[in-house]
Structure 1
């Protein structure tokens, strides 16, 4: 079992434009879709599509319209009652794959609602192999919210606590790494540079990712999976670092590609794969997601590039 927490879920609306985005103009679109989203939900959908047991924890009001698209995913979802409504994210994709995102803020959670979410995660995580804390925090939530979740899970479940993966950014990532010592973080290179407080060199993206990740692995995080867009991804652990490129694909939408990469890594890891093969699996899942419209969850049959070369650092 893998458990995901999405503290700030979203209704993802994706529109494919016929031409490049023109500010101030009126444009036609070739297609559109609507998906239940938020990083943890995205990760859970990919894991479920692979046939692996997964449970998604998220805040959700009883009368929220988000329940319909969530139900259509077929996910095993543990919803925590709250007063506010799920936000909407809009994604515009032109024929060249250029993506423009407009994200609305979600509803704030009061202290009692946040406490209820933490308690629900502890219950859901019993017997799980991994717990994924993914996405931004809702308005008003303290930047150490994920730290509180980690502490509650580890103290409540002891030696039975799952390993914990974190995919967030900014202050939430900084506090989690500084105080929570997660087992895995999944930033992109820009998020990693912000976390470390060092600029990217603008040269070799892979070398930059490995250099920056090594400054926090394993002292503050046990491992880092760093997604690098078209340059692939790097995996850094206490023992070594590996990197591999992205297979050639036609980009349809990059929304959710990083979430799929994390899901691919977790799927391989729980199946007992090596670090190199887990990295390959992560990259193939991210590429598959980018080749699909909207935030569709890639299935194993969608995966490209089954023999990616892996370099060791």
Structure 2
């Protein structure tokens, strides 16, 4: 069992078009509505591949009712906290060449009582002894800046490891607190956290090890088309799959995290699965998560101690 918590979930609307042109009237080729938010996406990917998971999230308003219905349709077990304000709706515009433009709303304002209810709901789910708690996404207005630190303390009291996928201030506060077992930033988020550009495998590895020095056990860095890097204190692995024609990159990192956590295999195999799941997600529309038939583990190449000078981002 893996429990996820998404403090700022959403209903994600994806419009597939040929080319985005500002000021024009454009007609979408396809339209999708799916349950969204990073932790929700992790639970969806896990469930799609047969893993037991429960998603903890606040729901409110008509959008919250729609979100609950969509999760039920995806067979994702939920522990919901009722809030007064409606959850957000996000819009993704996906062009035929794979370019993705996201319009994300800020989300609801949570009261102090609603935050306390969310923490209580997570604690209740952790009492069942899951393998992981995944804390993921942005924080809604009203949520304390150290919410992920509080969640990590609740998990630690129950002996449950925590994986965190966030960005900006919530990521920084939680990482510096040193209570997160696995951090999963993408390359840009890690660069922002350290305040410097990261253009090579060596620079990403050095940055990840600096974060490990704050207390994390491992850092899984997704590198977009360049694959992913798994860094521990004394080991590093890089993995990449075959070139994929992207249809939508939204949620691919969430699927990578789900793949990594799916089973307690050796680190290199977990990384292989992370890249395979993420690559499969990129080829699907909107925030569609891949099932077993879409995932090709054999297409992923693993390199232990990769060449530090390898460029992973063009200047």
The C-alpha deviation readout for 1:251-292, integer Å capped at 9, x for no partner, is 11000000000000001xx3x311111111000100111000
After TM superposition, the score normalised by the length of structure 2 is 0.92
Distance 2:240 2:95 in 1: 24
Distance 1:305 1:273 in 2: 14
Matched, 1:240 2:235: yes
Mapping 1:1-313, distance limit 5 Å: 1-17=1-17, 19-61=18-60, 64-126=65-127, 127-155=129-157, 157=158, 161-200=159-198, 202=199, 204=200, 206-267=201-262, 270=263, 272-313=264-305
Work out whether residues 235 and 243 of structure 1, in 8 Å CA contact, stay in contact via their aligned partners in 2: yes
How far is 1:307 from its partner?
4.3
How far is 1:180 from its partner?
4.3
How far is 1:62 from its partner?
7.1
The C-alpha deviation readout for 1:2-52, integer Å capped at 9, x for no partner, is 0000100010001110x2100011112211110011000000000001111
Q: Secondary structure at the match of 2:96?
A: coil
Distance 2:297 2:50 in 1: 21
How many pairs are equivalent? Answer: 302
How far is 1:67 from its partner?
2.3
Distance 1:207 1:253 in 2: 29
Structure 2 runs not aligned, ≥5 long: 306-315
Work out whether residues 155 and 162 of structure 2, in 8 Å CA contact, stay in contact via their aligned partners in 1: no
Work out whether residues 241 and 301 of structure 2, in 8 Å CA contact, stay in contact via their aligned partners in 1: no
Give 2:309's aligned residue: none
How far is 1:220 from its partner?
2.4
Q: Secondary structure at the match of 1:29?
A: coil
Q: Secondary structure at the match of 1:124?
A: helix
Give 2:313's aligned residue: none
Give 2:312's aligned residue: none
Work out whether residues 94 and 101 of structure 2, in 8 Å CA contact, stay in contact via their aligned partners in 1: yes
How far is 1:84 from its partner?
1.1
How far is 1:61 from its partner?
2.8
Structure 1 runs not aligned, ≥5 long: none
How far is 1:142 from its partner?
2.0
Distance 1:305 1:123 in 2: 35
Distance 2:72 2:175 in 1: 33
Distance 2:208 2:22 in 1: 38
Distance 2:211 2:57 in 1: 29
Distance 2:102 2:75 in 1: 26
**Mean Cα deviation higher: 244-253 or 118-127:** 244-253
